[in-house]
């Protein structure tokens, strides 16, 4: 039975006393509508939980019957958004052969240019600078409005850029390689500006849920790399024409982004997601109304940063080491034994296939596996995660001792790891540890603060992730100088 009561006085009988916070009171004045549900008084809830004047019946139902993530639907939606969050970066980096070896090649343009040789470093800068800036700004100000506005417009702008990229793949640009190069760079800047806001918002959204859902976003990010690497490899193996392969390749990004767009609007109708969003908002309202809070309505950023700093360092350092090596160094490591290539591929262009498999596919598959393992194992614990994270710095000299031969540079450092199978093991463990440890760091970070600040902590984590990527890309630029230094002669 449900009833609505207007202002009136009640003598405090036995039943009415359950509605009184002060047991000594003899009467109560009800000034606002009160909604009651059948059998509520018999639930043995504390007195302060029996006042429903600010709850809807849906919220009451969620309180009484906490829902489960049926069929792991929300988990898979978070995973899909993780795929979409890193899709722009992965698509343009993995398409190195299309841009550097086709669109900017002398065979296509008829002239020698430096655009192909500078493609990886140029696209890395164009991608990560806006991503870095907007990830940090998005922590302290609501860029583009509320969460829904940021995610929707972020996805929409990315869709437009990929449509433009497909159109440019259809057009003959051989007569104007310089213009095409700068159009591509501007497109990457716009794409990653939108993606920076979108990616940061996705981590903030996942932080409202249990920690495994942040892990789902990281797992999706690693699946994104595997997905693009496999699509790129299939295009190289099946489609003989570079232009047509590129068209199919970039169209796949459109389908993924549109799926992200649709599933985001499916979340509000999911009871599990509504329940955790309700808990998050309830906790936030409770603390915003605390008269002792001096930063009313504004998260205590410095406090959150200090509490999260151990995991923020871990996240930064993991991606710093990884991006120092992948893809710049790893894509320039050549096969030491021709017979090893024949065990992988016996057709033409074996060097390109070796790079596709031993760089892009190997790293992304192992990183995906490492990220997936965190769904079952979370070791080491928060306070000890820094140990394996710091030890990963040893991968930098290990990779440089392999058969690393950067373009336009004469290597003087002796090659000590001259076996493809040993290199395979080194590269596999690097990717595996990257996916596993980064997932742990991202999962641990929101748990370092009060639940009401979990979303802000998730945004800090995303910003340090991008910062680690950016600094790693910068450091990768000195790798050719290290292996070609005169001190090794």
Contact indicator for 273, 210 with CB cutoff of 8 Å: no
Question: What is the reported pLDDT for 429?
Answer: 97
Alpha-carbon span 50 to 57, nearest angstrom: 13
Alpha-carbon span 469 to 389, nearest angstrom: 15
Flag residues of the chain having pLDDT under 70: 1-65, 142-145, 240, 285-297, 342-349
Question: What is the reported pLDDT for 240?
Answer: 67
Question: What is the reported pLDDT for 28?
Answer: 46
Question: What is the reported pLDDT for 298?
Answer: 77
Tokens representing 334? Answer: 């050549």
Neighbouring C-beta atoms of residue 459, cutoff 10 Å: 25
Closest CA to 130 of 69, 196, 82, 228: 196
Question: What is the reported pLDDT for 288?
Answer: 60
Question: What is the reported pLDDT for 322?
Answer: 96
Alpha-carbon span 32 to 45, nearest angstrom: 21
What's the pTM? 0.72
Question: What is the reported pLDDT for 107?
Answer: 87
Question: What is the reported pLDDT for 325?
Answer: 95
Question: What is the reported pLDDT for 36?
Answer: 40
Closest CA to 48 of 74, 27, 13, 22: 22
Question: What is the reported pLDDT for 4?
Answer: 43
| Residue 243 burial by Cβ neighbours in a 10 Å radius (0-12, 13-18, 19+) | middle
Question: What is the reported pLDDT for 11?
Answer: 47
């Amino acid at each position: 039975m449900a009833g609505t009561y207007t202002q009136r006085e009640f003598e405090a009988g036995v039943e009415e006393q359950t509605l009184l916070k002060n047991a000594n009171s003899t009467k109560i004045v009800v000034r606002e509508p009160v909604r009651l549900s059948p059998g509520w008084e018999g639930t043995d809830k504390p007195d302060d939980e029996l006042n429903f004047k600010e709850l809807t019946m849906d919220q009451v139902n969620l309180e009484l019957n906490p829902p489960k993530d049926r069929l792991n639907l929300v988990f898979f939606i978070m995973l899909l958004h993780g795929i979409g969050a890193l899709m722009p970066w992965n698509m343009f980096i993995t398409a190195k052969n299309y841009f550097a070896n086709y669109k900017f090649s002398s065979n296509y343009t008829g002239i020698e240019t430096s655009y192909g040789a500078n493609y990886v470093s140029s696209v890395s800068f164009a991608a990560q600078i806006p991503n870095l800036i907007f990830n940090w700004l998005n922590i302290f100000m609501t860029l583009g409005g509320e969460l829904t506005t940021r995610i929707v417009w972020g996805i929409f702008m990315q869709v437009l850029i990929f449509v433009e990229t497909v159109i440019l793949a259809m057009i003959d640009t051989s007569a104007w390689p310089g213009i095409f190069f700068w159009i591509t760079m501007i497109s990457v800047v716009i794409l990653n500006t939108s993606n920076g806001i979108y990616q940061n918002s996705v981590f903030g959204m996942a932080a409202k849920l249990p920690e495994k859902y942040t892990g789902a976003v990281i797992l999706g990010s690693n699946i994104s790399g595997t997905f693009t690497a496999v699509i790129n490899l299939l295009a190289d193996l099946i489609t003989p024409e570079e232009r047509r392969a590129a068209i199919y390749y970039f169209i796949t990004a459109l389908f993924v982004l549109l799926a992200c767009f649709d599933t985001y609007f499916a979340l509000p109708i999911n009871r599990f997601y509504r329940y955790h969003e309700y808990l998050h908002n309830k906790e936030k309202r409770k603390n915003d109304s605390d008269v002792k809070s001096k930063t009313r309505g504004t998260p205590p950023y410095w406090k959150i940063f200090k509490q999260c700093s151990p995991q923020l360092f871990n996240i930064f350092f993991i991606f710093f080491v990884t991006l120092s090596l992948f893809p710049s160094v790893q894509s320039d490591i050549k096969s030491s034994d021709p017979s090893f290539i024949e065990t992988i591929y016996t057709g033409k262009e074996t060097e390109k296939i070796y790079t596709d498999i031993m760089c892009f596919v190997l790293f992304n598959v192992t990183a995906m596996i490492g990220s997936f393992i965190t769904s079952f194992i979370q070791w080491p614990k928060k306070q000890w995660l820094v140990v394996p994270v710091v030890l990963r710095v040893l991968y930098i000299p290990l990779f440089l001792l392999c058969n690393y031969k950067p373009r336009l540079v004469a290597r003087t450092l002796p090659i000590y790891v001259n076996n493809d199978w040993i290199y395979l093991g080194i590269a596999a463990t690097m990717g595996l540890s990257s996916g596993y440890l980064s997932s742990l760091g991202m999962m641990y970070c929101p748990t370092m603060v009060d639940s009401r600040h979990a979303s802000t902590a998730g945004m800090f984590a995303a910003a340090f992730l991008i910062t680690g990527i950016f600094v790693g890309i910068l450091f990768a630029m000195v790798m050719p100088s290290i292996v070609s230094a005169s001190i090794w002669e």
